[in-house]
Amino acid sequence: MYHAVIYGTPAESEFTIDLPLRTNGDRQHRTIVDFISGKPAQTSISVIKVQAGISFVSACPRTGYTHQIRSHLYAIGSPVVGDNLYRIGRLAANSPINDQIQRLALHSYKITFRHPATHLDMTFTAGYPDDFSMVLSYLQ
């Protein structure tokens, strides 16, 4: 599970982005939506908080492609704050929230896997770095 701060306000509080992706799909080596040659890809999104056109979301990739979350969010018009590769012109470049964070506002928050020896599910979470926490406090 990843947490991200994105531009825009999704229309639904929970939804799945189901768009086929092709890795290394353009001259910038981005992962792109490609309805002809792309492979099936799904990312589940849950909106946690919305404030002034900025949203804090949980994103769970159901498939595992390079830049999948970034590409899917960009494709629906809600790129991740601080994403210089997947951004929409001036929207991403001139937001006041950019003063709060100087990098991609995407955080690997939680992972769960089955232990190979005990066969028990193990879950680990990672706290937010200071700059990510500052962005979240801006949304309060």
pLDDT, averaged in runs of 10, over the chain (140 residues): 95 97 89 96 97 93 96 96 80 62 92 96 96 85
How much is the pLDDT for 140?
Answer: 75
Question: Does the domain formed by 2-138 have CATH 3.40.50.300?
Answer: no
Distance CA 101, CA 109 (A): 17
Q: In whole angstroms, how far apart are CA 12 and each of 8, 45, 47, 91? A: 12, 9, 8, 21
Element containing residue 92 per DSSP (H, E): helix 89-93
> Which of 23, 20, 24 shows the shortest CA–CA distance to 43?
20
DSSP state of 18: E
Inter-residue contact 69 to 21 (CB < 8 Å): no
pLDDT confidence of residue 107:
97
* Predicted TM-score (pTM) above 0.95: no
Q: Give the pLDDT of residue 102.
A: 80
- Longest Cα–Cα distance of the chain, Å, equals 51
Total count of residues recorded for the chain: 140
pLDDT given at position 18: 98
Q: Which of 96, 114, 136 is nearest to 3 (CA)?
A: 136
